[in-house]
Amino acid sequence: MGGQSRFSKNIICIGAGYVGGPTMAMIAAKCPQYKVTVVDINAERIDAWNSENLPIFEPGLYEVVKQARGRNLFFSTEIEKAIKEAQIVFVSVNTPTKTFGEGAGKAADLQYWEKTARDIIRASDTDKIIVEKSTLPVRTASAMERILNANDKGIHFEVVSNPEFLAEGTAVADLENPDRVLIGSQMTETGLKACKEIVEIYANWVPAQKILTSNVWSSELSKLVANAFLAQRISSINSISALCEYTEANVSEVAGAIAMDSRIGPKFLNASIGFGGSCFKKDILNLVYICESYGLHEVARYWENVVLMNDYQKRRFVKTMIRTMFNTVAGKRIALFGFAFKANTGDTRESPAIDVTRQLAEERAKVVITDPKALDNAKMDLQSCLEFVEFCEDPYEAAKGAHAIALMTEWNEYKKLDYQKIYSQMEKPAFVFDGRNILDHKLLFEIGFNVFPLGRVPLTHL
Ligand code: UDX
Ligand code: ADP
């Protein structure tokens, strides 16, 4: 259909979320010769993509969207029409962990994907390339290919895997200059042809040596494994942070020392209250489930421990708070600085702050939450314990009358606050629990705070 328009390719993406929106905006910005349409069942989301207030907060994204929107980038709810006109269909709908039935709590819930496959069959009357963008269990592509090609219209669908490695908060930079782009296809003639078409898109701005092709299963598995390895590094350093607190070692010094071994390298070694985000836990559980389904129980346990260590770190943090605040936090006001799962995003999916808040609410503390971008999401996440929670935009107000501050998210602005002023308005003794080790602990101690970093000896006046 592209032939009748001024565009050389007609690309669509089903699912206008954290992955689909930014990825398609970048493709459209870099390739004015293609028509790129992003569709979603959620009309509110589409309206937001068409407005000045994008539905997700991502530094630099609005500039990219603005450059292409209305020119060759379109956001729409007309899914059927878009599918009909497209030659290439990216699918980026959600694949949450199943909450019911076989594999509940581990396996990926593929209902949105399968529904999309059926939408694609219904609306299509020409051959299409279907690109898996959502992270899916290995071998999903071939299952999808079977569903799609069971159509009785004689249409051929070629499914390729093109996992997205962008991280939130740095999505624009990651898309503009990716470490690699991975495209997996069947090794058949039609598979390799489809792969070449997708390579062509990225080759508009990504250097050829960074575009990697593989078989479809390697591509699907690589995405899960990349996330599992990254999460494993965080759980590893977090496990060491617990040991440091007992041995007077300093986890940052240990991390710095091992990081200089070029085989280990410096990234993803910051001890924290735990990793969050929509991918790490989900993808590891997915890996665990697949291993189990093949009877690889030892392999499954090995990866499952990465998630268990993460849960332990969150519980350990709250336990330290309760123990140091004289074994009770009931009725005490505790200010949480940050709620997003990391800085520079409003996303709170799997944020450790959710568990910390729930545990503190169970202890009947009064939790006051502040965050520059994530308060709306926080309100939705905490529906079950609202009577113990307050939300406050201004960190100074949040800390007023509080017994403790617990820093959850490494927002830069929290480093720059006037902690002398904050201290003067808090209950005494005043505590700081730095879940990200980003504050100036010595200065806080000198002001009068009792400071509890992660993986370091506390600085206390008690
Ligand atoms: C991750 C992967 O990085 C990305 O490649 C993939 O496409 C999606 O999943 P994202 O979830 O956006 O991206 O965030 P990431 O920057 O990886 O951080 C995940 C979590 O780990 C955050 O909660 C972060 O605070 C935490 N983290 C990260 C640490 O606790 N310590 C570190 O050293 C690094
Ligand atoms: P991700 O982080 O993987 O991008 P999101 O949850 O942010 O996931 O986005 C997934 C998007 O997919 C949501 O906006 C959701 O409304 C959309 N979606 C889910 N199912 C369908 C479907 N059948 N058709 C179109 N869009 C869908």
Tell how far the Cα of 270 is from the centroid of ligand 1, in angstroms.
11
Ligand 2 center to 349 CA (angstroms): 14
pLDDT of residue 359: 97
Backbone angles phi, psi at 181, to 5 degrees: -115, 130
In sequence order, which residues have a C-beta less than 8 Å from that of residue 218 and are 6 or more positions away?
Answer: 184
CATH number of the domain that residue 66 is part of: 3.40.50.720
171 shares its domain with 236: no
Regarding whether 245 and 180 lie in a shared domain, the answer is no
In a shared domain, residues 185 and 240 = no
Q: Burial, 311: exposed, middle or buried (Cβ in 10 Å; 0-12, 13-18, 19+)?
A: middle
Number of domains in the chain: 2
Ligand 1 geometric centre to CA of 275 (Å): 7
pLDDT of 4: 60
User: Of 149, 183, 206, at which residue does a domain stop?
Assistant: 206
- The vertex-439 CA angle with 421 and 169, nearest 5°, equals 110
Confirm or reject: Cβ of 20 under 6 Å from ligand 2. yes
Same domain, 202 and 253: no
Q: Which residues of the chain have pLDDT under 70?
A: 1-4
Q: Say yes or no: 201 and 233 in one domain.
A: no
Same domain flag for 287 and 397: yes
On whether both 173 and 65 belong to a single domain, the answer is: yes
225 and 275 together in one domain? yes
Q: Are residues 352 and 398 in the same domain?
A: yes
Whether residue 157 is found in the same domain as residue 263: no
Asked if 304 and 283 touch (Cβ cutoff 8 Å), the reply is: no
Q: Is the pTM for the entire model greater than 0.85?
A: yes
Half-sphere exposure of 180 (CA within 13 A, CB side): 14
Active-site annotation holds for 279 = yes
Answer whether 164 contacts ligand 1 (Cβ < 6 A): yes
What range does the domain containing 258 cover? Answer: 215-462
* Ligand 1 pocket check for 230: Cβ under 6 Å: yes
Which helix (DSSP H) or strand (DSSP E) does residue 74 occupy?
A: strand 73-76
Q: Are residues 198 and 275 in the same domain?
A: no
CB burial string 122-134: b at 16+ within 10 A, e below? ebbeeebbbbbbb
Last residue of one domain, picked from the residues 206, 226, 249: 206
To which residue do tokens 């800085």 refer?
A: 343
Residue 48 Cβ inside 6 Å of ligand 2? The answer reads no
Are 97 and 65 in the same domain? yes
Domain boundary at 141, 176, 206, which? 206
pLDDT tens digits, one per residue of 411-454: 999 999 999 999 999 999 999 999 999 999 999 999 999 999 99
Query: How many whole angstroms separate alpha carbon 165 and alpha carbon 178?
Result: 8
Catalytic residue, chosen from 13, 279, 291, 385, is: 279
Q: Is 271 in the pocket of ligand 1 (CB under 6 A)?
A: no
Q: What is the DSSP string of 418-459?
A: -HHHHHHTS-SS-EEEETTS-S-HHHHHHHT-EEE-SSS--B
